[in-house]
Amino acid sequence: MRTFDLAPLYRSAIGFDRLASLLEQRAESQPSYPPYNVELLSEDKYRIVMALAGFSRDEVEIVAERDTLHVTGRKQKDATERTYLHRGIAARDFEQRFQLANHVKVTTASFDNGMLTIDLVREVPEALKPRKIAIADAHVGHANGTADNVQQIEQRQAA
C-alpha cells in the first residue's frame, strides 16, 4: 500500500485539510465491485458508467446528497435452487460512493443492457464566476467613475 506525506500541503495551503483527509480515505479503501469508469466528456461534463451484470433497474438506487453520490445495489433473493459449476458473475449487494466537487450535479441516469450510466455537470453560479473589474482613471471622481465602470462591465457581460 502506498503512503503519501501530506505535510507540505498542510504547511502551505490553508483550508485544504478536508482535501487531504479525502485523499487519505480513498487510499485506504478502494472497492473494486462493481467495475466502473469515470469519463470526462468536456470541460464541465462527466459520466460514470457501471457494469451491473445480473441487476435490474428496480434493484439499483442512486442518491445525490450534498457532495456525495451514493449508488446502491440490493439483489433480490432468487427462490430457485441452483448448482453452479463455475460462478463468475458476482451479482452481490454493493454500495459505491463518489465524492463530488462543488457545484457538480447529476443530470441524468439510465440503465441499459446491464450498464448504469450517470451523467453529471458542473454548474458554477454566475455570482461565483470571476469577473473583470475596470480600473478608473485617477482624475475621474472615484465614487461616480467606479460605479459607471462596474455598470458598463455588467452591461457588456449581459449582452
The answer to whether the predicted template modeling score (pTM) of the entire model surpasses 0.75 is no
Give CB contacts under 8 A, 24+ apart, made by 37-43.
38/98, 41/119
pLDDT at 145 over 60: no
pLDDT confidence of residue 27: 57
pLDDT tens readout for residues 5-46: 666 655 555 555 666 666 666 655 556 789 999 999 988 899
**Are 26 and 102 contained in the same domain?**
no
Q: Evaluate whether residue 82 is within a structural domain.
A: no
**Are 144 and 119 contained in the same domain?**
no
Cα–Cα distance measured from residue 41 to residue 48, given in angstroms and rounded to the nearest whole number: 10
Q: For the chain, what is the domain count?
A: 3
Cα–Cα distance measured from residue 42 to residue 27, given in angstroms and rounded to the nearest whole number: 27
**Are 11 and 54 contained in the same domain?**
no
Q: Which domain holds residue 22?
A: 1-30
Task: Write the CA distances from 42 to 3, 36, 47, integer angstroms.
Answer: 32, 19, 10
DSSP, res 33:
S
**Are 25 and 37 contained in the same domain?**
no
